[in-house]
Amino acid sequence: MTPTVRPDHRRRGSVYIAVLGFATLMLVAALAALMTARVERTSIALANDRAQARALALSAVDRAFYAIATAANTPEAWRARLNQLAADPPARLGAGTLEVNLFDAVDGDPTDAGDPVTVIGVGVVGDATYRLSVGLDESGERIEGSWARWTP
């Protein structure tokens, strides 16, 4: 009797291996697509937080300008209002907080009436923090060209 060769068993096994390999490739592609979507979502959320933090920083600077505008027209009065505003805790607005900080590059004391002062508006939303600064001269007027993103 001659032995019978079963080539169909080898073919069925090779098809199984090919299907298994293809399924593995599809799984890897699907996982890569999910990871890409997750990274994009996180990136969009961070960009949104940065935009909101920038708006809050601008609002903080506007708040300082309002404090100056409503104070008496003496350097001591508007500086006292700004120092009071800077001493306040951060204010909650929407999804974040805003606060006003003062910086005096001359001697470090923003209460000195003869020194220019830098108003720094800080906006914080989630992990995003934005600082916006504007310089004020001795009389409380904005120094032209002094708007900048604050980077200490």
| pLDDT block averages, 10 residues each, the chain of length 152 | 58 79 94 94 91 94 89 79 89 92 81 82 93 86 78 54
| Percentage of the residues of the chain whose pLDDT score is greater than 70 | 90
Nearest to 117 by CA among 87, 78, 84, 60: 78
State the SS3 of 51-97. Answer: HHHHHHHHHHHHHHHHHHHHCCCCHHHHHHHHHHHHHCCCEEECCEE
Residues contacting 89, CB < 8 A, separation 6+: 99
Verdict on whether the full-model pTM lies above 0.85: no
Residue 120: the pLDDT is: 92
